[in-house]
Every structure is written in C-alpha cells, then in structure tokens.
Amino acid sequence: MLVTIDHWLSNVNRKLSMNCDDRPEDARISLVVIHSISLPAGEYGTGLVPTFFCNELDLKDHPYLQSLEGVRVAPHLYITRRGLVTQFVPFNLRAWHAGVSSFGPQAACNDFSIGVELEGTDQSSYTNSQYRKLCSILTALIVKYPSISLGRIVGHQEIAPLRKKDPGAGFDWERIYTEVVRHEDAIASRR
C-alpha cells in the first residue's frame, strides 16, 4: 500500500467528505489517531458509517441516529470489520475527527493528525483483517510522513481523555507496534 502524490492511499475506495478544510500553513502531519465507530452503536455492517461521514445519513433509519443530527465529522480513513478501507479526505487536508483535543503541548490535533476509524466499539475486540490493513496503512503513512513515529500513533482516548474511550480496551496496541516495527526495514528502504 502506498500514499500517492496527491495524498490518497492507493487501492482503496474513495468517497469524498465535505467535513474537512485546509490545514494551517505551518502544520506538519505528525500524528495518527485511532478511533472506533459503529452505527447504530454495537451494530456492524449496516453501511451507515460512510453515509454519516458524508452527511448523507437518514436520521429516520434508526432512533439512535437522531442523536447525530447536525454532527459533521469525518476521518481520513475507515476500516470495516472485513478490512475494507474507504478514504474520505486526502491526508494533506484537515479531517474533522478529533474534536477538542491535545497531544503533549500541542492543541487542536486535527491540525496535524490523520484520523483512522475502525468499525467497532470501545468495548469490542477488532478483527485480524482490521489489524492487517491498519498495519499496512501505518507503514505507508510513516514512509510518506516521516514526522509520524510509533510514539505518535495514539487512540482517541489519549488526546481527549475526558470525552473519549476509543478504540478501547479491546484494541491490541502491542500487536500494532510489533507489526509496524517488523516493517521498519521496508520503511527505511522506501524513505
């Protein structure tokens, strides 16, 4: 998997969201934020998540969805339980995924981060397909944006701890770090 010159991943579905804008001129992409989402909560494979990120959600489809009225968010990427990837925002643009947030002394994480949503909940485990795809994506992002390192791949709960718990206790951070380190030789040779 590669990041193209126009800041899209190769070989993934594209569905452009308007829930983005320009990054500040001095912003350097240096953080990846992992999130989880399912619509309705805890239900998988409904197809509602992509429509939510593109402001196409019909709030009448389920009573739970009415709480999302007027919400305008989108990550850069979404990975389903089966490992299918959709990109909504090119990486050079600021996707609206993190909300009020900070990482160390830096506030407004949307300015300098890439958001990746996994189909799941903060109480669920994730699938092997999701982990394989996520590791491949993280490797490609580290190659393209060298300011991203293992220590700058975090969960939403780390940048907004009073508001968020995702991706949750079921997310295997050790597996991610081990797999990405295993790809370090590939990363070094592609830089």
For position 190, what pLDDT does the model report?
62
Q: Reply yes or no on whether the pLDDT at 83 is more than 70.
A: yes
Q: Six-digit token pair at 71?
A: 């919400």
User: Which band of pLDDT confidence, cut at 50, 70 and 90, is reported for residue 188?
Assistant: low
Q: What is the pLDDT of residues 22-34, one digit of tens each?
A: 999 999 999 999 9
For position 191, what pLDDT does the model report?
56
Domains parsed from the chain with CATH numbers: 13-185 (3.40.80.10)
184 and 138 in contact (C-beta within 8 Å)? Answer: no
Using CA atoms of 170, 175, 177, 178 in order, give the dihedral in degrees to the nearest 10.
170
DSSP summary character for residue 170: T
CA distance linking residue 9 with residue 134, whole number of Å:
12
CA distance linking residue 13 with residue 19, whole number of Å:
17
- pTM comes to 0.95
Q: Six-digit token pair at 8?
A: 């899209």
Active site residue 117: yes
Q: Which of 87, 69, 85, 83 is nearest to 17 (CA)?
A: 87
Q: CA dist 50 to 57, 90, 108, 164, Å?
A: 9, 15, 24, 21
For position 72, what pLDDT does the model report?
97
| Set 117, 174, 179, 184: catalytic member | 117
